[in-house]
Chain A
Amino acid sequence: MGSKKLRRTGVSADICERLKRHQVETCQDVLSVTPVELMRLAGLSYPAALDLLRLVSKACVPAVSTAWDLWRKKGELCFSTSLPALDRLLQGGLPHGALTEVTGPSGCGKTQLCIMLSVLATLPRTMGGLDSGVIYIDTESAFSAERLIEMAQARFPEFFSAKERLLEMASRVHLFRELTCQDVLNRLERLEEDIIACRAGLLILDSVASVVRKEFDTSLPGNLTYRSNLLGQEAAVLKYLSQEFCIPVVLTNQITTHVGEKVHCPQWNQADVPAEEDSGFVTAALGNTWSHSVNTRLIVQYEDTERRQIVIAKSPVAPFAVLSYTIQREGIRLEGNASPESVLNQGTDPGLQPIRVRTGFIYNLSQATPSTC
């Protein structure tokens, strides 16, 4: 809206000419100056400058609606994750028009969750899906088409018994491989056409952190601000896309070590935690500003060598909660979540929530079947 040219807004031609001489051609240029500056640039009196600002504002102001209009489209507000306990907590599923971030240590299941959501999005609405395409932007080359097929067959065996259905599902997932920050940003800025062409109902970016962290050394001066600006731009574009097309956006993030005092977190009370008294602890990467930009943050972490946990660390609708899961052939399976005590009315700063990393490995050579990833 801001890039609308002035001559299309009803501003008189000679004012447009005068402004053009000062490189002021779009609505954004006009609104980026103060009224006094505009007086000088356009050669107008103060009241006339204010009128000009109002006229230009009318051309690019967004429409006003009411919360009731939004509420009436209730059925289309969430994307069910097919994990009942998680859907219940999130009041329906992943919200449309908002960014959901999944963060955690490597090997915990972030990409598995993304692949599972891709399968779900292509399902018909009667089965809880979105009946739409999926745009998957992969920066780590971690997406595996074979895993996609395997998961679809294992999770919905009757539906995907016919081979054509599998192929059709696979053809609806559109994969983009981008390997640098600038590539990712360029892709995002041109994504509108792709979303319309693929009729996409889900956008996945896996992962945000990998490209950013390998290109920016934050110990160098100036890099931190540049990185924050880039992330802010990415977040703004993603929010715009998710809002305008009313689709959920899922991002993945990595972890980093935070040096400082450990923050108490509720779920550690149940397990017997070894007192790892370092001066640092592991938390979500990309900093405090990024934590503001995402609307929902799900942390995946290790509970013990077999089981993992999903923690709802930041959500506008859900309380702080912890759910256990394992990774099977059919994707994520929630288990052992009968007790509702894990739901609290408290929480911690989602930017400082400590995350449990893998501390032990199974080296069982006698077990030939690799059941965990």
Chain B
Amino acid sequence: MHRTVPSLPLAPSVKVKLINAGFQVASDLTDMRPLQLCKEAGISQEEAVEVLQMLRDDGQPHQQRAATESLTALDLLHQEQALGSIVTFCSALDDTLGGGVSMGKTTEICGAPGVGKTQLCMQLAVDVQIPVCFGGLGGKALYIDTEGSFLVQRVADMAEAAVQHCTLLAEDTEQKQALEELTVEKILSNLFLVRCHDYVELLAEVYLLPDFLSKHPEVRLIVIDSIAFPFRHDFEDLSQRTRLLNGLAQQLIQLATQHSIAVVLTNQMTTRVSNGQSKLVPALGESWGHAATQRLILRWEGLRRLASLYKSPSQMEATVQYQITVQGFRDASDEHRPTPDTSAVSSQLGNHSKRPRTEDLS
């Protein structure tokens, strides 16, 4: 209640009138009635009501909320364990990420052209739909495409391969029942697709995402492929671009934590020349590096494709090799696997058990 009037989230003209009338601190306003405030400050009646309502929300409920909202780390641990993660079907990469792409966080995938960023995003959009009894999340996905690289034939191939994978794993009746409903048609129907042509449409879509998520609560993954393309050529004013990108990053982090979903962004690489040498670095500038919680960099090394975990709060930095096969994003070693034995295949669904993790902490 020691908040000063200029710092309140009110319209600028209203603030000016309140200050001119002598109200300096929020506590000066608490016991006022609307009509009295209206006469003293010279603002309209609706504006007076708005001011007083804002103060009321700002005061007590905020303190109450503060008391209940502090979590202990133990609560957080339970929450994180219950959330699960989205497998990538490349077991080496899953191990590096600690089970897969984590929920409740934003992950950025940077990479050179043609290295497999879109392939990985499409694979994740399929993998998030694997039923819970197989160790997946059974959720839907939203794919925001800004580049036009989403090709539905490829997703259909990946969906087909994922269904076959689960068929080989199905053991008990619950899994077999879930398998009957898991068809390529269903996987494609649960994949929402939005095509944004420029940064304005992308920003508009992100502003409306909270409404979308409340209408479709089963969505557990949002992919933006790519976030770099619309922002790289339309801006003369780079500081404006940085402001917009920061706002975007904040909104996405908020969505990820509030709704416990995974947000995956794709970034491009740009050439930076320094000391006469040119290197490839992630695009969108240095400050964008802070935006995502986890950062994965995909690159070529000769004929091989490598994935490096570059930034993560919980996992160690590591580099693994992967490859893109007809079935999708896979480990580098399993090139020809006509009939894989079930034990090796089941390990690919993550190193945790096929059932959701039960409480093992007393």
- Chain A positions within 8 Å of B, measured between CB atoms, are 1-2, 27-28, 31-32, 34-35, 39-40, 43-48, 53-54, 56-58, 60-71, 74, 77, 91-92, 95, 97-99, 228-229, 231-233, 235-236, 239-240, 242-243, 263-266, 287-289, 291-293, 295, 297, 313-314, 316-317, 319, 345-352
B201 & A65 in contact (Cβ 8 Å cutoff): no
Distance A319 CA – B156 CA, assembled complex (angstroms): 16
Q: A349-B114, A349-B300 are in contact. Are A62 and B9 (CB under 8 A)?
A: no
A61-B208 in contact (CB<8A)? yes
CB atoms of A297 and B233 under 8 A apart? no
7 closest pairs, A vs B, by CB? A232-B233, A2-B200, A46-B9, A57-B204, A314-B114, A291-B113, A68-B188
The answer to whether the Cβ of B176 comes within 8 Å of any Cβ in the partner chain is no
| Contact indicator A316/B151 (Cβ below 8 Å) | yes
| Among candidates B11, B208, B302, B324, residue contacting A48 with C-beta atoms closer than 8 Å | B11
Q: Which residue of B lies closest to A266 (CB)?
A: B303
A314 touches B233 (CB 8 A): no
Name the one of B54, B114, B324 contacting A345, with C-beta atoms under 8 angstroms. B324
Do A57 and B269 touch across chains, with their CB atoms under 8 A apart? no
Among A91, A264, A291, contact of B303 (Cβ-Cβ < 8 Å): A264
Given the interface pairs A288-B113, A292-B229, the reply to whether A347 lies near B147 with Cβ below 8 Å is no
Query: Is B354 close to A, CB under 8 A?
Result: no
Add 18 more A-B contacts to A1-B197, A54-B208, A62-B194 (CB < 8 A): A2-B201, A27-B200, A54-B207, A57-B204, A57-B208, A58-B204, A61-B205, A62-B195, A66-B192, A91-B154, A98-B149, A229-B233, A292-B269, A293-B147, A293-B229, A316-B119, A317-B151, A345-B323
- Chain A residues with CB under 8 A of B24: none
- B299 — nearest CB in chain A belongs to which residue? A349
If A2-B201, A46-B9, A64-B193 touch, whether A295 touches B280 (CB-CB below 8 Å) is no
Q: Which of the residues A2, A71, A77, A98 comes within 8 Å of B198, measured between beta carbons?
A: A2
Complex CA distance for A97 and B149, rounded to whole angstroms: 9
Other-chain residue from A48, A60, A71, A317 in contact with B188 (beta carbon distance below 8 A): A71
A34 touches which of B11, B50, B119, B244 (Cβ 8 Å): B244
Q: How far is the CA of A347 from the CA of B192 in the complex (A)?
A: 31
CB contact between A43 and one of B13, B112, B119 (< 8 Å): that residue: B13
With contact pairs A40-B12, A60-B204 given, residues A350 and B148 touching in the complex (Cβ less than 8 Å):
no
Q: Is the beta-carbon distance between B12 and A39 smaller than 8 angstroms?
A: yes
- The answer to whether the Cβ of B337 comes within 8 Å of any Cβ in the partner chain is no
B302 and A264 within 8 A (CB): yes
Cβ contact of A32, chosen from B112, B200, B226, B303, cutoff 8 A: B200
A243 lies within 8 A of B197 (CB): yes
- Do B229 and A47 touch (CB < 8 A)? no
Please determine whether B197 and A239 come into contact, CB atoms closer than 8 angstroms: yes
Interfacial chain B residues near A91, Cβ < 8 Å:
153-154
A67 CA to B153 CA in the complex, in Å?
Answer: 10
Known A287-B271, A289-B268; contact A66-B240, beta-carbon cutoff 8 A: no
Query: Do B233 and A39 touch (CB < 8 A)?
Result: no
Task: Let me know if B65 is at the binding interface, CB within 8 A.
Answer: no
Residue of A with least CB distance to B230: A236
Q: Which residues on B sit within 8 Å (CB–CB) of A2?
A: 198, 200-201
Return chain B residues, CB-CB under 8 Å to A235.
233
